[in-house]
């Protein structure tokens, strides 16, 4: 059977009542689908087959249905994503027959894995096809990267830069000055154009 679509993922919004959701890609096995619930706050939970959902339509080129045990609540996003097992089970024996279906199944599986890897690449940060970067790697140890952010060095290569501890609100590793002039505030100090932070329109 051919694979005539590049779709490997479907997304739905929960409403607290719907439990049946269609997936529009071919599955070779009911274990080769990943069901994820994303809460309104961004928390992602991978659900478990049988415990949380069941799958029908395995083997159909057009897909099938995932039925949830409990309806995803309003504000929850349900993701159905194909996740093919990255193994190779075809064993060719010299002088034995080679059924077309055996060969096509193996080719289909390789394409399925390639599509899933491409989907991951499509969600990654990349340098454009007309751009260059000498190194997209950095060698800082985890302890040296802690509380820092990613940036680019003078050559345009990836590196870790300046200490930064985002904690929500206005917290960061700076000393604030209430002076409202626009002169250089000095190392380690950030100065706003208004003594009331909410009214500031510029930072120096």
The pair of three-digit structure tokens given for residue 22, joined into one six-digit string: 């269609």
Largest CA distance in the chain: 86
Confidence at 16, pLDDT banded by 50, 70, 90: very high
- pTM for the complete prediction? 0.70
* Average pLDDT of the residues in 133-154: 84
Sign of CA dihedral 166, 168, 173, 174: positive
pLDDT of residue 148: 83
> What are residue 55's DSSP bridge partners?
66
**Cα separation of 116 and 121, whole Å?**
9
Tens of pLDDT, residues 88-105: 888 888 999 988 988 888
CA dihedral 120, 49, 31, 64 (to 10 degrees): -80
Provide the H-helix boundaries in 40-177: 100-122, 142-145
CA distances from 144 to 106, 116, 140 (A): 45, 33, 6
Residue 41 tokens, joined: 């706050």
Give the residues across from 67 on adjacent strands.
20, 54
């Amino acid at each position: 059977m051919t694979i005539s679509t590049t779709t490997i993922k479907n997304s739905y919004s929960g409403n607290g009542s719907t439990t049946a959701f269609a997936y529009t890609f071919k599955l070779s096995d009911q274990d080769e689908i990943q069901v994820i619930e994303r809460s309104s706050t961004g928390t992602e939970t991978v659900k478990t087959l049988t415990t949380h959902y069941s799958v029908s339509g395995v083997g159909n080129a057009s897909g099938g249905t995932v039925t949830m045990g409990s309806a995803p609540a309003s504000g929850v996003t349900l993701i159905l994503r194909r996740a093919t097992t990255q193994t190779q089970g075809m064993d060719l024996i010299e002088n034995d027959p080679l059924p077309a279906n055996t060969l096509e199944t193996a080719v289909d599986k390789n394409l399925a894995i390639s599509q899933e890897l491409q989907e991951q690449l499509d969600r990654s940060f990349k340098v454009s096809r007309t751009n260059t970067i000498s190194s997209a790697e950095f060698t800082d140890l985890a302890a040296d990267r802690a509380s820092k952010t990613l940036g680019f060095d003078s050559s345009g290569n990836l590196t870790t830069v300046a200490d930064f501890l985002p904690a929500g609100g206005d917290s960061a590793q700076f000393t604030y000055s209430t002076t409202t002039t626009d002169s250089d505030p000095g190392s380690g100090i950030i100065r706003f154009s208004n003594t009331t932070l909410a009214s500031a329109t510029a930072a120096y």
